Amino acid sequence: MPEGDTVSQAAARLHEALAGRRLVRADLRVPRLATADLRGRTVREVVARGKHLLARLDGGLTLHSHLRMDGSWRVFPAGRRWSGGPAHQIRAVLDTGRLVAVGYRLQVLDLLRTAEEHRVVGHLGPDLLGPDWDAAEALRRLAADPARPLGAALLDQRNLAGLGNVYMAELCFLAGVTPWLPVGELADPGRLVGEARRLLLANRDRPDRTTTTATHPRERGVRGRAAPRLYVYGRAGRSCLRCGTPVRMAATAHGEPGRERPAYWCPHCQRGPVPPG
C-alpha cells in the first residue's frame, strides 16, 4: 500500500500537471460518477492528506481518491499512449489538453463539495507531512489506548496520518521493540513520533524509500551491490543488518479480518511479545 511519502509525491506530480489549468475532458469511470461533467472547470490545487488525494476544482468541488493497495495516478503528454495498466483498470481521466492525468485501480473515488472534505478526511490524526502536524496531539492519541499493540496503533490513521506497513516495521526496529509491544510499555514514545516525522520528511522527495543510515558494516552493502534501504521490511529469513540474526515475519498481524498484513522484526534487536509459532 502506498504510504504518506508516496502519496505526497503523487500529489506534487498532479499539482504540477493540473493546477491552474482548465479541464477539456474529465472521464470518471465509476457508476455513481458516470454522469458527472467536470469539463470547463479549473483545477485549483492537488494536495495530500495522509494517504488521501484531494484535487480541488473551481466551483467548490473536490475529487477525492485513495490509492489503497495498488492504485496509482500517472501523467502523460497529450497524444502519448497511456502505459499504467490495461484500459479496464482506468478509473479517472483528467485532460487539460496539454497533459493527461490517468488514475489506475482507484478503489476509492468520490466527488464532493470542498467544504465537506471533512466527511472523508476529518477522522484522520495529525498528518506527518501536512501543515497540521502536531506532535503533541499525535502522542495524545497514541497514549489513549496503552494496551494496544504498537504496530496496530501506528497503522491507525486516526493517530498519525501517513504511516503504512513499511514504516511501521522500520519504526519498531529503530525503537528496538516488536510490533506487539503495548503502547504503554514504550520507553520513549516522543522519540518514536519524532522519528516517524523525520523518516517521512527524508523520503518525501526520494525515488526510493530509505530508512537505513549505513552506520553499521552490514548496512553498507558489499562491493558491486547497493546497500540495503530497509532494516527489516521484506527481509524475512535474511540477516539483520545490525546483529546478523535472521529476520522473522508473522504472516498475519495488525489487520482487519481478510486484510491482515505481514510484520517483520529481528528477534535479537527488538524486545517485546511476539506471536506464537
Please tell me the predicted confidence (pLDDT) of residue 276: 85
Q: Would residue 217 show up in a list of annotated catalytic residues for this protein?
A: no
As a whole number of angstroms, the longest Cα–Cα distance in the chain is: 60
The mean pLDDT value for 23-50 works out to: 96
The mean pLDDT value for 184-207 works out to: 96
Q: What is the chain's mean pLDDT, rounded?
A: 92
Give, for 263, the enclosing helix (H) or strand (E). strand 261-265
Given the residues 3, 49, 179, 248, select the one marked as catalytic.
3
Q: How confident is the model at residue 216 (pLDDT cuts 50, 70, 90)?
A: low
Given the residues 49, 51, 91, 148, select the one marked as catalytic.
51
Q: Would residue 2 show up in a list of annotated catalytic residues for this protein?
A: yes
Q: Would residue 25 show up in a list of annotated catalytic residues for this protein?
A: no
The mean pLDDT value for 92-119 works out to: 97
Contacts of 176 (CB under 8 A, 6+ apart): 269, 270, 271
Given the residues 56, 197, 235, 261, select the one marked as catalytic.
261
Q: Would residue 51 show up in a list of annotated catalytic residues for this protein?
A: yes
The model's pTM: 0.91
Burial of 87 (0-12, 13-18, 19+ CB in 10 A): exposed
